[in-house]
Amino acid sequence: MINYIFRLVSSIFLLILSACGSGSASPYVTDIVASQIIFGQITQFSISGGALDGSVNISAQGCVSEEAVKVESNTRINWRCVVDSVGLGAITVKVHTPTGNVLFTRSFDVTPPVLPVVTSIRVDRLMYSRQSQFTLTGFSLEKDFVVSSKNCKGLSSAALGSTTSRLVTCNINATGAGAVFVEAKLADGTTLKSATFDVPNPQVKMVTSLGSMVLELNPATAPLTTDNFLQYVNSKFYDGTIVHRIVTNNIAIAQGGWLTATPSIQPGQRPAIPLEVGKGLSNLRGTIAMARGSDLNSATSQYYFNLADNTALDNANGGYAVFGKLLNGLEVLDAMLQIKTGAGYGLIDYPLSSIVVDSVLQIQ
């Protein structure tokens, strides 16, 4: 029994010796000092304390591209990062153990840069023929710099802005991958930031009394015709108009964009546009094209849908300009084809049952 007690006491004593022996002490931090802090440059932080040859981790807000911790001695380690924020307390450095126990935290102020710095260029929406707003973010943006764009006309600075943001607006006039390019430069030509943006083909939703259709327009091939149609769409010209012709003799088309449901001529027609044909777009079923008079360059607001393949219209009388196609809603065109026609408003192919275009809206 005595031997058992002796062995137990000896084991406990050895455990106490092991715990209190020369094993590593817990690290601690007494201060964090920074070298000169300048936005966009590398700053070195010196961490002092004790038992720092052990494992400690360092993290920071407002500082990027961190380097590995460099142990200088048991009482000092160095750590570097690139400053990417400005203002009071812009950088917060934190020293902690691998388990997450925070040993020390200190914040540092960063003076705004002398010259403007643009860190990002974002856009609220990219819709062909519509105004887009670009937001440039960064620092010292109240100072002078130049913003330019490609394929976005009428560029102007918005009234709202601050030291960290600048707003500019323009009208998108191209589609495709990387169609729009926006760049910020200093007066001496130094580039601050540039960005490219993809612009999809415009889409229009037409809601009629027979159902809804979605059309995709083709500004790359028929820019004048597409722009003309979208101007009528975005001014609400087509809302409340009717399909005033359905032709089924030799060709099959449904024509609109002229009369109200009264019927009367819809006011607000714009000047006629040049004819755009011979560019690879054909009068196939489900496409949309511009109606016109005998003058090749007389198209204004009237459009027509091809209810069947009408390839003869590609060249007949100089041709008729196709500028888009249906993505969905072909059943609406099929329903139009079943509407009976007769004499009305001076026409021989006037629908005897009204087909009202309730609304036309650009959705992309």
Higher pLDDT, 314 or 100: 314
What average pLDDT does range 277-292 have in this prediction?
Answer: 97
Block residue for tokens 């009071």 = 88
Mark out the alpha helices in the chain (DSSP H runs): 2-20, 223-234, 330-337
CATH hierarchy code of domain 26-110? 2.60.40.10
Block residue for tokens 């028929």 = 222
What average pLDDT does range 239-256 have in this prediction?
Answer: 97
Question: Residue 80, Cα to own-chain centre: how many angstroms?
Answer: 35
Give me the pLDDT at residue 65, please. 81
- Taking only Cα atoms into account, the Rg of the chain, rounded to an integer number of angstroms, comes to 36
**Fold match, 117-199 / 203-362:** no
Taking 3-state DSSP, the helix, strand and coil percentages for the chain, each rounded to the nearest 5, stand at: 15, 50, 40
Task: Break the chain into its structural domains and give their ranges.
Answer: 26-110, 117-199, 203-362
Higher pLDDT, 230 or 1: 230
Report the alpha-carbon angle 300-303-305, nearest 5. Answer: 170
H or E segment to which residue 182 belongs: strand 176-185
End-to-end CA distance of the chain: 91
How many CB atoms sit inside 10 A of residue 291's CB? 19
17: left (phi over 0), alpha (psi -120 to 50) or beta: alpha
Q: Give dist(CA 304, CA 349) in Å, integer.
A: 14
Contacts of 289 (CB under 8 A, 6+ apart): 283, 303, 304, 306, 313, 320, 321, 322, 323
Q: What is the mean pLDDT of the chain?
A: 91
Give me the pLDDT at residue 67, please. 80
Contacts of 152 (CB under 8 A, 6+ apart): 132, 170, 171, 172, 173, 180, 182
- pLDDT tens for residues 18-63? 444 445 588 999 999 998 899 999 999 999 999 987 678 899 999 9
| Architecture of the domain made up of 203-362 | Beta Barrel (2.40)
Query: Facing residues of 46 across strands?
Result: 33, 78
Give me the pLDDT at residue 160, please. 55
Q: Give dist(CA 223, CA 300) in Å, integer.
A: 14
In this model, does residue 354 exceed pLDDT 70?
Answer: yes
Class for the domain spanning 117-199: mainly beta
Q: pTM of the full predicted structure?
A: 0.80
Band (pLDDT 50/70/90 cuts) for residue 161 is: low
